[in-house]
Amino acid sequence: MTDTTQTTPETTVIQRGPLELTMRRFSRDRASVIALIFILALIVIAICAPLIENATGHSPIEQYRTTGLSEMGLPVAPNDEFTLGTDHLGRDVIVRLAYGARVSLLVGVLASLAAAFIGLTIGMIAGYVGGATDMVLSRLMDLVMSVPFLLCALALVSVFGPSLGLSVGVIVFFSWTTMGRVIRAEVNSLRRREFVEASRSLGAGPVSIMLRDILPNLSVPIIVYTTMMIPSAIVFEATLSFLGLGIVPPTPSWGGMLADAATNSIYLVAWWLVVFPGMALLFTTLAFNILGDGLRDALDPKARPVRMSRFLKKAGKAGKP
Amino acid sequence: MIRYLLKRLGFSALILFTLSGFVFFLFFVAPGDPARVIAGEKATEAQLVQIRTNLGLDRPIPEQYFKFISKAVQGDLGFSYRNQQPVTKLIVNRIPATVSLVIGGVIFWLLIGIPIGVMSARHPGGFRDRMGQGFILLGLSFPTFVLGMLSLYVFYFLPKQAGFTLFPAGGYKPFLRDPIIWAWHLFLPWMTLALVTAAVYARLTRGHLLQVMGEDYIRTARSKGLSERTVLFKHGLRSTLTPLVTQLGADIALLLGGAIVIEQIYGLQGVGALAVQAVNNQDRPIIIGVVLLGGLFIVVTNIVVDLLYAVLDPRVRR
């Protein structure tokens, strides 16, 4: 028998790298794949908003008083000219929706990335240095977490006036703490591990250990928690815009569109003004939440029980004197 | 125990100090001129100077801060720029609506959230668990104001169009005048608040229960021959109370400072609606007052939660 050294197709062992395994786990999760497709489609819509503008021939801020408003001055229901109807000023809802996606995605992603970066930096310092630094930074996180954020946002906006930059700033300021806490706990346990000790005994300094040894181990919580932060940032921005404190009109944003619909309760006679932006907002947050769950399960199959026990420890600590 | 409470009190003081500093600082870096807001566009320079002197705005900032704090401690938060009424009175008038909203909301979200969490945890991976998880995901994703507007459309406008009033569009009716009218007006706000918040409690209950039901003491309870129901409610759910109380404290505190979005949608004249009005009017003493009140509620509920730990968790009582 000469074929003993030859591997027959049946016995071939396929080696799969961690990336491929993750991809396989992720693609098996149908809900996550749909969520990802939805998000990608949304990004395409946001980028191609000018194309939609061209296709309909309607500008997002132009008021079409002759065709876009009924004789009584009411919004026009979805029809051939206005696929998703018009708003109280006779503006085309579908074009505004597409441009609004830009605001939501931009604010959501930018604010989440910035908050993740701050949370990561502060969490790593608190977790790695420990001692008094840790205590001060942890108290700071507690403090930010227990402040009534919407009220403070109101106060800030009332003084400085609403703007896109201020919205992002406020969102970042109040959302970095979640990431900070998670990273702090993670680093706190990682820094006692042998590979860190080995690195230190080879003469590595604290910065090098943090960036080259610890940081790569944090990729899973960073990816998962940043994804999970995006929907809350989007809703936060929409809420600010809804209260008239976020994006300045006439720039279209989903929260602003809903605010327009709510003034004088105009949406009661024009359901499309609340259903389309409302559903856009809901499906976007839903998609990001599902994606976050799916990424966590795919990146770290053990994550669920670990996460729970960590939560338990935290609750236990809070209960102890 | 005493030392722990003292530590918590210190942290509470820190919260109030930071918040008061924050609002006061905002007040002074602010570009607008308060005297101009009070006197209106046509006021002369002499009138503006007069108003500044009356309000003490010409004094050094540290002195103003000290005066502001010592008055605030006595419950005097100054006067509204718009109608010259005391801020404390304006806020106190708004508290019943907010408190009514929060009380009903809490009851409904606990009644919805905890049973869903328990149901989900009792059948992990099963159909009921998937339903529960679906509810959690949907509740966490639903923006409050979208749910509020949709429910107004479905439960107020559509019946109205059909010729009858199922629920009113909102507005607050005092409890003491007629509790039934009170509850009827608050039902939609309660349900909106409850549905978006219940998801958090369902997730918390489910996660904690799944963890706890694998513990040794649950096996002991089972092997004693206790019924599954007793094991679940007396042993399993009992230990879930601690994280639930923590979450509840944080949520109640945040909402008492103004359930801004819901009050806005349903036209409830609560603290949050007052804050939004004050922002639109540039009425800064009211904004400062509401933020400080929010801080006060947070501090008070923190202390209540800490005391509740001592009642719930025997390990704390030492």
**Both tokens of residue A116?**
């993740």
Give the minimum alpha-carbon distance from B254 to chain A in angstroms, rounded to a whole number. 6
Q: Model's pTM, two decimal places? A: 0.83
- Check CB contact of B260 with chain A, cutoff 8 Å: yes
Q: What is the DSSP letter of B164?
A: S
Helix (H, G, I), strand (E, B) or coil at A233: helix
Amino acid at A292: G
Q: Cis check for the bond before A277: say yes or no (omega within 30 of 0).
A: no
> Residue range B164-168: average pLDDT?
78
Q: Count Cα atoms within 13 angstroms, Cβ side, for A10.
A: 0
Q: Return the percentage of chain B with pLDDT > 90, whole number.
A: 10
Amino acid at A13: V
Place of tokens 């591997």: A7
Q: Do A154 and B260 touch (CB under 8 A)?
A: yes
Q: Do A158 and B282 touch (CB under 8 A)?
A: yes
E strand or H helix that includes residue B60: none
Give the minimum alpha-carbon distance from A33 to chain B in angstroms, rounded to a whole number. 16
8 A C-beta contact, residue B299 and residue B183: no
> Residue range B271-291: average pLDDT?
84
Query: What is the pLDDT, as a whole number, of residue A301?
Result: 66
pLDDT tens for chain A, 321 residues: list them: 444 555 555 667 777 777 888 888 888 878 888 999 999 999 998 888 888 777 777 777 777 767 767 667 677 777 777 777 777 777 777 888 888 888 889 889 999 999 999 999 999 999 888 888 888 898 888 888 877 888 888 888 877 888 888 888 889 998 899 899 999 988 988 888 888 888 889 988 888 888 888 888 888 889 888 998 999 999 988 888 888 887 777 788 888 888 888 877 777 777 888 888 899 999 999 999 999 888 888 887 664 443 343 444 444 444 333
Q: What is the DSSP letter of A211?
A: I
At residue B116 the predicted structure's pLDDT band, cuts being 50, 70 and 90, is: very high
Q: Do B243 and A308 touch (CB under 8 A)?
A: no
Helix (H, G, I), strand (E, B) or coil at A75: strand
Q: Do B287 and A158 touch (CB under 8 A)?
A: yes
Put simply, the chain B residues between 188 and 227 with a CB less than 8 A from any chain A CB are 207-208, 210-211
Task: Measure CA A57 to chain center.
Answer: 32
Nearest C-alpha neighbor of A89 from the set A112, A110, A66: A66
Task: Measure CA B148 to chain center.
Answer: 17
- Say how far apart CA A253 and CA A165 lie, in whole Å: 14
Burial readout A25-53 (b: 16 or more C-beta within 10 A, e: otherwise): bbeebeebeebbebbeebeebbeebeebb
> Residue range B56-75: average pLDDT?
75
Calculate the average pLDDT of chain B. 82
Whether residue B245 has pLDDT greater than 60? yes
ipTM of the complex: 0.83
Q: What are B196-225's pLDDT values in tens digits? A: 999 999 999 998 888 888 888 888 888 888
| C-alpha dist (Å) from residue B76 to A321, B18, B207, B285 | 36, 19, 45, 11
- Say how far apart CA B163 and CA A285 lie, in whole Å: 36
Name B87's Cβ contacts closer than 8 Å, sequence gap at least 6. B77, B78, B79, B80, B285, B286, B288, B289
Give the minimum alpha-carbon distance from A160 to chain B in angstroms, rounded to a whole number. 7
Which of A154, A235, A315 has its CB closest to that of B143?
A: A235
Q: What is the DSSP letter of B86?
A: B
* Set of chain B residues whose Cβ sits within 8 Å of the Cβ of A308: 207-208, 210-211
**Segments in B142-178 forming alpha helices (H):** 144-152, 158-162
8 A C-beta contact, residue B243 and residue B208: yes
At residue B113 the predicted structure's pLDDT band, cuts being 50, 70 and 90, is: very high
What interhelical angle do A93-129 and A219-242 show, nearest 10?
130
CA dihedral B28, B31, B37, B38 (to 10 degrees): 20
Helix (H, G, I), strand (E, B) or coil at B44: coil
